[in-house]
Amino acid sequence: MITQKMKYALKALLVLGDEAAKQQPDPLTIETIARRSGTPKRFLEQILLEIRNAGVVGSIRGRSGGYVLIKKPADISISEMLRLIDGPIAPLPCLSRRAYQRCEDCKDEATCRIRKVFAEVFWSYLILIESLSLEDMLRSELIADQVVGA
């Protein structure tokens, strides 16, 4: 399950992705992003700072400043955003590639039935989530709008 913070991050990225697709994209203020995404401004400031520090968005100072995507939507991995905002995505610490920890109560990982069952489910999920990019999310939104409007 993703956190509310991650949902806010994705909504902000979708707003910035929509803007980036325009012929003449403008930097968007936090207020504009908050309004368009339905995200509380006070949470958005911290989230955008984290995403900026990760090199996904840039900030432009000044009167006509704001936030812009500095990576192409196709290069913005949803799984990387999940890890950035929510931390490890594995359901058990012994399944995490980047934050591996042996379970305290585990006698033998090789024969652990809990680990085995969750590993199968997690790897299937991981294959799907690691293939997703912001571009996929933007495209799916566009397709959904076209179907509804048809």
Dump the DSSP string for 56-67: SEEEE-STT-EE
pLDDT for 131 equals 93
| Domain range enclosing 31 | 1-76
Mean pLDDT within 6-21: 96
69 in a domain, yes or no? yes
68 DSSP assignment: E
59 in a domain, yes or no? yes
Q: Rounded distance, CA 71 to CA 74, Å?
A: 8
105 in a domain, yes or no? no
The model's pLDDT over 59-99, given as tens digits with 9 standing for 90+, comes to 999 888 899 999 999 999 999 999 999 998 888 888 888 88
pLDDT for 4 equals 96
97 in a domain, yes or no? no
Q: Rounded distance, CA 82 to CA 61, Å?
A: 27
The model's pLDDT over 14-54, given as tens digits with 9 standing for 90+, comes to 999 999 999 888 999 999 999 999 999 999 999 999 999 99
123 in a domain, yes or no? no
41 in a domain, yes or no? yes
- Cα torsion for 76, 79, 80, 85, to the nearest 10°? 110
pLDDT classification of 145: cutoffs 50, 70, 90:
low
The model's pLDDT over 121-141, given as tens digits with 9 standing for 90+, comes to 999 889 999 999 999 999 986
pTM score of the predicted model? 0.83
CATH of the domain at 18: 1.10.10.10
109 in a domain, yes or no? no
94 in a domain, yes or no? no
Task: Please give the biggest Cα pair distance in the chain.
Answer: 61
**Structural domain count of the chain:** 1
